[in-house]
Amino acid sequence: MTETTRILVVGAGAMGSQIAMVCALAGHPTTVTDLSADALDRASTQLRGRLDRDVSKGRRTAQDVAAAFARLSFRTDLDTAAATVDLVIEAAVEDLQVKRELFARLDRVTPPHTILTTNSSAIMSSQLADATGRPDRVANMHFFNPALVMRCVEVVRSPDTSDATVDAVVALTHQLGKQPVLLNKEIPGFVANRILHAMRDEAIHLLEEGVASVQDIDLACRTALGHPMGPFEVADLAGVDIGYRAKLARHAVTGDPRDLPSRTVTEMVERGELGRKTGKGFYRYDSDGTKHPRPEPEDRP
């Protein structure tokens, strides 16, 4: 992997667009594709706003940002965009069938040498590799939100992933200024999210048992454990539905009832209370993002 490595990011959501900008900032010609032109326009606008703020605060130079945008393109035509790339990072919806269809299509339209990676932490690359004719060049490359800030990238090989593919993805991760964490064995949730979900499961258990409130559980994690955010704050930031789908995906693999989403999270998803993005989650949020405690269940209208 060199600075001329051509990268395609599939999916222009918050993760996909930020991953693409990380690649462009590191010097790589990068294309973002999405089915929706509106999604691409939103991604471009949001990235420009975020990078302009970084420049105003002295975190980046205007020259570096301008050069990155010159390397970054936004397209709806996946097949044309994929025709000359060296590596794909898929960041589409967390749906196994959608991803399998997408990987089969990418296998048809990318050059034979192209490495195909998925940003998913819920779907393992072995669940996608057999939809392609190149299982040795398929792996997980899992970034964390917000991708422009978080340094960790989990690189996960399937039983069929070649050493050459792993080495290339690890090398690229370093080039992006990130810290690779290599998993030589697939496991649902990988490393960081398994630890995070175990902590969140216990936090929800304490909440459902009436041991302590959302605010006090988060406060304990911040002030006693040194976490920058409590588990409920993290859930709201990432999206309550993201954790919900991750639990469903893990249960689909393990069949263990303990891996199903909790009653609390299931009811929140059914009500559309998905965290910051909907203004309600474990906390409620003003339009400017200011956080407020939610009333206790018995006090809610």
pLDDT digits (tens, 9 = 90+) for 80-130: 999 999 999 999 988 899 999 999 999 999 999 999 999 998 899 999 999
Q: CA torsion, points 41, 42, 43, 45, in degrees to nearest 10? A: 90
Distance CA 145, CA 245 (A): 16
Choosing from 90, 193, 262, 273, the catalytic residue is 193
Predicted pLDDT at 296? 65
Instruction: Convert the pLDDT of each residue in 173-220 to its tens digit.
Output: 999 999 999 999 999 889 998 898 899 999 999 999 999 999 999 999
Predicted pLDDT at 75? 97
Domain ranges for the chain: 7-183, 193-292
Predicted pLDDT at 20? 98
Q: Which amino acid is at 89?
A: I
Hey, which residues does 7 pair with through a beta bridge?
30, 87
pLDDT at 4 over 80: no
Predicted pLDDT at 189? 87
Instruction: Convert the pLDDT of each residue in 10-65 to its tens digit.
Output: 999 999 999 999 999 999 999 999 999 999 999 999 999 999 999 999 999 999 99
Predicted pLDDT at 33? 98
Structure tokens at 126: 């072995």
At 2, the pLDDT band (50, 70, 90 cuts) reads: low
Q: Is 154 a known active-site residue?
A: yes
Choosing from 90, 154, 233, 273, the catalytic residue is 154
User: CA distances (Å), 100 to each of 16, 138, 185, 296, in order?
Assistant: 18, 12, 21, 42
Q: Could you write out the DSSP letters of every residue in 52-109? A: HHHHHTTSS-HHHHHHHHHHEEEES-HHHHHTT-SEEEE---S-HHHHHHHHHHHHHH
Residue 23: CB atoms within 10 A of its CB come to: 28
| Block residue for tokens 């041991």 | 211
Predicted pLDDT at 301? 38
C-alpha triplet 266, 297, 260: angle, nearest 5°: 20
Let me know: does 154 contact 192? Beta carbons within 8 Å: yes
At 250, the pLDDT band (50, 70, 90 cuts) reads: confident
Decide: helix, strand or coil at residue 110. Answer: coil
Distance CA 236, CA 294 (A): 12
Distance CA 176, CA 195 (A): 25
The most confident of the ranges 223-227, 251-255, 293-297 is 223-227
Mean pLDDT for 150-157 is 97
Q: Indicate the pairing of strand 87-90 with strand 7-10.
A: parallel
Q: Is 270 a known active-site residue?
A: no
Q: Could you write out the DSSP letters of every residue in 139-184? A: EEEEE-SSTTT--EEEEEE-TT--HHHHHHHHHHHHHTT-EEEEES
More confidently predicted of 298 and 26: 26
Decide: helix, strand or coil at residue 195. Answer: helix
Predicted pLDDT at 3? 63
Mean pLDDT for 269-278 is 96
Choosing from 142, 158, 197, 273, the catalytic residue is 142
Distance CA 50, CA 56 (A): 10
Mean pLDDT for 254-259 is 90
At 238, the pLDDT band (50, 70, 90 cuts) reads: confident
Q: Is 36 a known active-site residue?
A: no
Structure tokens at 79: 């097949």
Choosing from 119, 120, 121, 140, the catalytic residue is 121
Q: Is 142 a known active-site residue?
A: yes
Q: Which amino acid is at 95?
A: D
User: What is the fold, at CATH topology level, of the domain defined by 7-183?
Assistant: Rossmann fold (3.40.50)
* CATH number for region 193-292: 1.10.1040.10
Let me know: does 16 contact 32? Beta carbons within 8 Å: yes
Q: Which amino acid is at 279?
A: G
Q: CA torsion, points 39, 44, 49, 55, in degrees to nearest 10? A: 150
pLDDT at 299 over 70: no
